[in-house]
Amino acid sequence: MKHIIFHSIAVSLFFMLPVLTYSQSTGMDVALNKGNAADLGVFFAPTLDVSILNTDATMTSSQAVNTLAEFFTQNQVKSYNRAHLTAPQNGRSNYALGDLYTATGTYRVYLYFDGQKKISEIRIQK
């Protein structure tokens, strides 16, 4: 009986993982669409590489949230459209990229994830 319960739980988790990953990426998309740095910061690793226009540094998650909030203040977000989301393969981590439409123009956003599915690098380029 324990064997059947264990397999049922394992199968359920196997089918739930894509849903969990989807909801995580949806949460990031919503945060970017709203231009909300604090909401996106929930998905940040404790330290991450940040490259936003003229800023290029390794920061704590709270520093990255502040830097991103400043960017959003200067570039009011109209919308975000994720163009691509990859799965990890061949030793490379997964990443997402999309277009951020703001009052000052369109920016390309790159998000790279660590093994815990946290954002370990964010790049925003014009």
pLDDT digits (tens, 9 = 90+) for 39-79: 999 999 999 999 999 899 999 999 999 999 999 999 999 99
Count the residues in the chain: 126
The whole domain housing 62 covers 2-125
Q: Which residue's entry shows tokens 């093994």? A: 115
pLDDT given for residue 88 in this prediction: 67
pLDDT given for residue 123 in this prediction: 97
Residue 14 pLDDT greater than 60, yes or no: no
Residue 116 sits in a domain whose CATH number is: 3.10.450.50
Cα(11)–Cα(26) distance, rounded to whole angstroms?
A: 24
pLDDT in tens, 80-104: 999 988 876 665 678 999 999 999 9
Q: Do residues 104 and 33 touch, judged by C-beta distance below 8 A?
A: no
Distances (CA, A) of 18 to 66, 85, 113, 122: 31, 13, 16, 23
What is the number of structural domains in the chain?
A: 1
